[in-house]
Amino acid sequence: MKHGKKYNESIKSYNQSNFYDAKEALEICTKNAKAGFDETIEIHVRLGVDSRHADQQVRGAIVLPNGTGKKVRVLAICKGDNEKIATEAGADFVGAEDMAKKIQTENWMDFDVLVTTPDMMGVVGRLGKVLGPRGLMPNPKAGTVTTDIAKAIKECKAGKIEYRLDKTNIIHCVIGKASFGAEKLNENFEALMGAIVKAKPEASKGQYIKSCVISSTMGPGIKIGTGKLESI
């Protein structure tokens, strides 16, 4: 695969075969984020579990201390008093069966997070085939199916992210923007890694964190030494 000039310059600025501590890697990453926009910083964590087994799933959510730098559009599907509560909490879109129908019939997806109340899961559950593949299906573990819908909306707006294994046993997450600087990004990184370590399944044997890579939107991956990560 052919890469651009900036990408190739980035590769030359560090040793690709080396492992770095998180803060040093983030300093390299932000320094090399030279695109004409504020690049997103992502981490990719390979775990020593098997996502095919129910007792080895790793999934949860956390509010990053410094947010993600992204404006999050929240859809709240709820009824009655909760509609007013959701609106006052800052939801961008609020409704019930009407919003579900809009998603089903118009393939409307102008939102980043869907939060709902337990009593509406009968309606929302029918959207699984549409929302699931896009990672938009609400889930109690992620805090997006809850009786406290105001709290859920405020957390999403504040920078709450969901982490979960993909089929290759890797967690992919955004931890902020290059403009945050290494210090704030490192705080987000440590908060997320702490949550992932805490979520280690009892059925997991051997090395839990196999590898960890940090990258910017347009930049190459930088390897993090895994030795200290499980103690974060």
Q: Please give the average per-residue pLDDT across 21-39, as a whole number.
A: 92
Query: Contact, 68 vs 202, CB < 8 A?
Result: no
Start-to-end Cα distance in the chain:
36
pLDDT single digits (tens) 41-54: 999 999 999 989 99
Q: How far is CA 177 from CA 12, 30, 69, 70, 195, in A?
A: 22, 9, 6, 8, 20
The structure tokens 């702490």 sit at 194
pTM, full prediction: 0.82
Q: What's the farthest any 2 CA atoms get from each other in the chain?
A: 58
pLDDT single digits (tens) 191-232: 999 999 999 999 988 899 999 999 999 988 999 998 778 767
- Reference 218, options 20, 37, 94, 65; nearest CA is 37
For residue 184, pLDDT beyond 90? yes
Return the CATH class of domain 5-67+161-231: alpha beta
- Reference 27, options 128, 228, 178; nearest CA is 178
**Residue-level pLDDT at 126:** 94
The domain limits of the chain are: 5-67+161-231, 74-157
Helix (H, G, I), strand (E, B) or coil at 144: coil
Decide yes or no: CATH 3.40.50.790 for domain 74-157. Answer: yes
